[in-house]
Chain A
Amino acid sequence: MEGTQQFDEFVRLALGRYGIAVDDVDLAIMHAAEGVYGPPRDAMLAADLSAVPPEQGLDPSGPPGATAAGESA
C-alpha cells in the first residue's frame, strides 16, 4: 500500500511538473504497466554493464564499428 502511494505521488508530482494531469484511470493503467515492465527494467538497471563499451556514432543501417581507441568500458 505504501509503495502504491509512493508511486502515485511520484507520478503526480513528476508529470505535474510539466502540467500533465493524471486521473485514476491513468494511474491504474500505469500500475499495471509498472507491474509488467518494472521488474525487467530494474533488472537492467541493476545489471553490471561496465564491461560493455558504448557504441559511438550508432548507425543501425550497418554492423557496429570497432570500439574507438580510448573508449572506456
Chain B
Amino acid sequence: MSDHPQDLSLREQARAIADGELDATELLEATLARIGERDGPLRSIAESFGSEAAKMLAEAPEGPLHGVPVAVKDMFALPWRAPRDGSVKNPYGIGPGESGLYRRLRDSGAVVVAVTNMHEFGIGSTGHVSAYGPCATPWDVTRCAGGSSGGSASAVGARLVAGAVGTDGGGSIRYPASYCGVTGLKLTYGLMPRDGYTHGFASMGEAGPLCRDAADARLLAGAMLGRPLSSLRASGMKIGVPNVMWQDLDPEVEAGCRAALEALAEAGCELREVGLEGTEHALTATVVRLTVEGAPSARPEIVREIEPQLSPLIRALMKYQLLLSADAVVRADRVRAQIRRSLAAAFSQVDVVAWPATPAPSPPISDPVVELPSGRHPADFANVRLGGLGNLAGVPAASVPCGLTAGRLPIGLQLLAPWREEERLLDLAELLERATDRRFVDAAPPVAQPAAA
C-alpha cells in the first residue's frame, strides 16, 4: 500500500489538510516530485510551477480545496503564464493574467501546480499532435491519451494529481476520460466565466473536471462553480438509450457499456429506448460549428508568426477550414436546432441519456485509427459522431469508467443530462461505481502500480 499523498483522492487530500493530518507544503513537494518521476513517457504535463504554486499555497484562503494541488489545461491564462493551446503560442492574443477559472480555483484554496498538455489548438480527439509532444494514456504509453484534454486525463490517471481541469468543445473532456480511465464532466455551456479562456468566443466549449471518480469530480466542479454540488439518490432514475448512438461500435466497448447499463438497472434504474433526430449529421454539424467559430477568431498576424512552427497537420487543417461554405454553416445550425429539440424532448421522458463515450479504445499514437465493424476510421471521425451532440446541445455530459478491454484499455460510458443538471450525472456515476464495486474507478494503470513507482 503506497503512502504517497497523490495516491489519495482529491477529497481525501482536502480533508487530510483541513484536519492537520497532511502538510500542504509536503503534498506540493511530493506532487512536483511525482510529476518529475512519472511523466516522462506520458508527456501529460506541459509545465509545472514550483515557485508560483508555493506562492499560491502561501496565500491560499480557506475553502473546499485549501492547499490541494490541481492541474489546468493549456487554455487558461494564469497570472504568470499565457495559455498556448498546445502550440508555441495561442493565436488569439491572450496573455498572462487572471482567467475566470484561475480566480475560481484560487478562491477555493486550490494550488495550480501545472499546466497540462493538449491537442494543438484543440483540433483533435487523440492528443497525439502537440508542441509538447504526443500525450499518452497511462494504460499504455504507446497509445493516445485522447484529446484535446489528454494531458489532464493522463495526469489524473497516472496519479500525478488527483484533479485537473479540461475543456470540451466537441467531446474533448469525454474522449480522454474514456481513454485514460478517469471520470470527466463537461459542465453546461455558460456556467464558467469565459475571460482568459482561449476558446471563450465559442458556443460549443465549456470547462469541467477530470478526476478519478465522481465524488472527486463533484468536489472540483463545485470549486470551479463556486458552489457545492449536492448529492441525491440516483436509484430509480430513468436512463434513455438511443439505439442510433449504439451503432458501429468496437465489440468490447459495446459489451462494457451495455454491462454498465445492466448494472444500473439491477441497482434500480429503468432503461428506456428513446429516439433522437439529427444524429446522422451530428458529426458534420459539430465540425462545422467548431470550424466557423475557431479559425476566424485567430489573429492573422499571430497565425503568420507561428505558422512555421505549427505541426504540418494542424497548419493544413487550419487552411482547409477556411474553405467552409456558408451553406454548410446554415445547414449545420438547422441540425443543431433539431438535435437540441430532440434532446429536450427525450429529457421529458427520461432523466439522462447514455451511450459509449468513444466507439473504440485508445488507438496507437503511431497510427491513431480505430477498427470498427464498418472498417478502419480516423479516431477523430469516429469519436465526434458520439461526442458532438453534448456540445451542439449545450447540456452537461460525462464519461465514467465502466470497463477494461481484454488488453486492459479503459472503456467509458457517456451520460448526458438536461441543462444545469450536473448533479444527476454525478449521482448516476456514483451509483455505477457502487454497482461495480469500484472495480473500474479504482483500477490503477501500469505506470501507477506500486512496482512502477
Contacts and interface: CB of A to CB of B under 8 A. Distances in A.
Interface of A: 10-11, 14-15, 18, 20, 22, 25-30, 33-34, 36-37, 40-41, 43-45, 47, 49, 52-55, 58-64
B203 A58 contact: yes
Tell me the dominant secondary structure on chain B's binding face.
helix
B284 A44 contact: yes
Contact of A25 (B287, B316, B320, B340): B316
Interface residues of B, number: 46
A37 B319 CA distance: 15
B327 interface: yes
17 contacts: A26-B316, A29-B312, A36-B377, A36-B381, A37-B287, A41-B287, A44-B328, A49-B334, A54-B337, A55-B340, A58-B337, A59-B190, A60-B190, A61-B190, A62-B394, A63-B344, A63-B418
Given A29-B320, A63-B340, A44 B191 contact: no
A63 B338 CA distance: 12
B285 interface: yes
Given A26-B315, A29-B317, A60-B189, 11 more contacts: A28-B316, A29-B313, A41-B284, A45-B331, A49-B335, A52-B337, A54-B333, A55-B340, A62-B419, A64-B337, A64-B341
B203 A36 contact: no
Nearest to B291: A37
Tell me the dominant secondary structure on chain A's binding face.
helix
B322 interface: yes
Interface in B292-330: 312-313, 315-317, 319-320, 322-323, 325, 327-328
A5 B137 CA distance: 40
Interface in B380-402: 381, 393-394
A25 B315 CA distance: 10
A47 B281 contact: yes
A44 B394 contact: no
Contacts of A52: 278, 334-335, 337-338
A48 to B, nearest CB: 10
B378 interface: yes
